[in-house]
């Protein structure tokens, strides 16, 4: 959608997609900063200047951390379904309790770490095939996915929001089970240059459920940007 007018760069975070599995380091990726460092590396490697970073969900926060470190490389940010904190706090509604997060991790364990990995190795002796089977069951690598969820859902970046210098488009779907409306409003309000736009009934993954509407929204926002960003 954006390719005719923009240079579009996409990448997989370590631990997902086609990223190098051996690069996964549980210490480095024990905090979001590890992912932000990777993003800075990507920006530097491609020598990107004044780019617009579009991140869905937790990726929006990773983008903000990277933009804070490399202000010259990032001109603006788009955060889709992003929350600065998922767990409720006094005067703040993230949408989840700490026990919800713990229960979710347990459920993920049951879904692909417990049964799939325990039994896949029984059925097939070759470990490589077993891994492929396991990967077939879940698109993400189970152990990494678990840590990723653990890291992502325990963040609290509320204090970092006022330090973000770039303009930010915050896209919030109605019926997003992950990001509460309150969290999205908090995000847009506490980012010094935040703008909030709603997408109706799109859920947590509007890029999958409403790609065209999301694209249009982002397109309109970029059109309002100064010329050099495009």
Angle subtended by helix axes 98-108 and 142-153, to nearest 10: 170
For residues 39 and 165, what is the distance between their CA atoms, to the nearest angstrom?
18
Among 19, 93, 209, 225, binds other proteins (CB under 8 A): 209
What are the residues whose beta carbons fall under 8 Å from the beta carbon of 213, sequence distance 6 or more? 199, 202, 206
39 touching other proteins, by CB under 8 A? no
Q: Which is nearer to other proteins, 51 or 58 (CB)?
A: 58
210 touching other proteins, by CB under 8 A? yes
DSSP string covering 187-209: HHHHSTTEEEEEETT--S-HHHH
Among 44, 177, 189, 219, binds other proteins (CB under 8 A): 177
In the complex, the smallest distance separating the C-beta of residue 204 from other proteins, rounded to whole angstroms, is: 4
For residues 149 and 151, what is the distance between their CA atoms, to the nearest angstrom?
5
Region of 132 on the Ramachandran plot (φ > 0 left; ψ -120 to 50 alpha; else beta)? alpha
Residue of 109, 143, 190, 204 marked catalytic: 204
Among 27, 45, 107, 223, binds other proteins (CB under 8 A): 107
147 touching other proteins, by CB under 8 A? no
Residue of 59, 83, 144, 176 marked catalytic: 176
Q: For other proteins, what does the binding mask look like between residues 48 and 87, x meaning CB under 8 A?
A: ---------x------------------------------
Q: Which is nearer to other proteins, 68 or 215 (CB)?
A: 215
Query: If DSSP codes are grouped into helix, strand and coil, which group holds residue 85?
Result: strand
For residues 195 and 105, what is the distance between their CA atoms, to the nearest angstrom?
32
Residue 78 bridge partners (DSSP): 54, 169
Q: Which is nearer to other proteins, 64 or 202 (CB)?
A: 202
149 touching other proteins, by CB under 8 A? yes
Q: Which positions lie near other proteins, rule CB under 8 A?
A: 57, 96-97, 100-104, 106-108, 110-111, 114-115, 118-119, 122, 137-140, 145, 149, 153, 175-178, 200-205, 208-210
Residues designated as active site: 57, 176, 204
């Amino acid at each position: 959608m954006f390719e005719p007018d923009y240079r579009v760069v996409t990448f997989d975070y370590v631990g997902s997609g086609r990223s190098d599995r051996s690069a996964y380091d549980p210490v480095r990726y024990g905090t979001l900063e590890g992912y932000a460092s990777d993003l800075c590396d990507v920006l530097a490697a491609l020598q990107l200047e004044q780019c617009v970073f579009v991140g869905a969900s937790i990726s929006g926060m990773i983008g903000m951390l990277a933009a804070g470190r490399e202000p010259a490389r990032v001109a603006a940010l788009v955060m889709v379904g992003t929350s600065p904190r998922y767990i409720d706090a006094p005067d703040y509604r993230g949408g989840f309790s700490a026990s919800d997060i713990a229960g979710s991790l347990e459920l993920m364990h049951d879904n692909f770490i417990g049964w799939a990995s325990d039994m896949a190795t029984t059925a097939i002796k070759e470990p490589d095939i077993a891994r492929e089977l396991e990967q077939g069951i879940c698109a993400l690598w189970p152990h990494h996915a678990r840590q990723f969820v653990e890291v992502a859902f325990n963040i609290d970046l509320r204090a970092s929001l006022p330090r973000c210098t770039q303009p930010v488009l915050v896209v919030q779907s109605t019926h997003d089970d992950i990001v509460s409306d309150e969290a999205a409003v908090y995000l847009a309000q506490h980012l010094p240059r935040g703008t909030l736009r709603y997408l109706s009934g799109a859920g947590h993954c509007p890029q999958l459920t409403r790609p065209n509407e999301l694209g249009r929204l982002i397109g309109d926002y970029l059109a309002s940007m100064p010329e050099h960003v495009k």
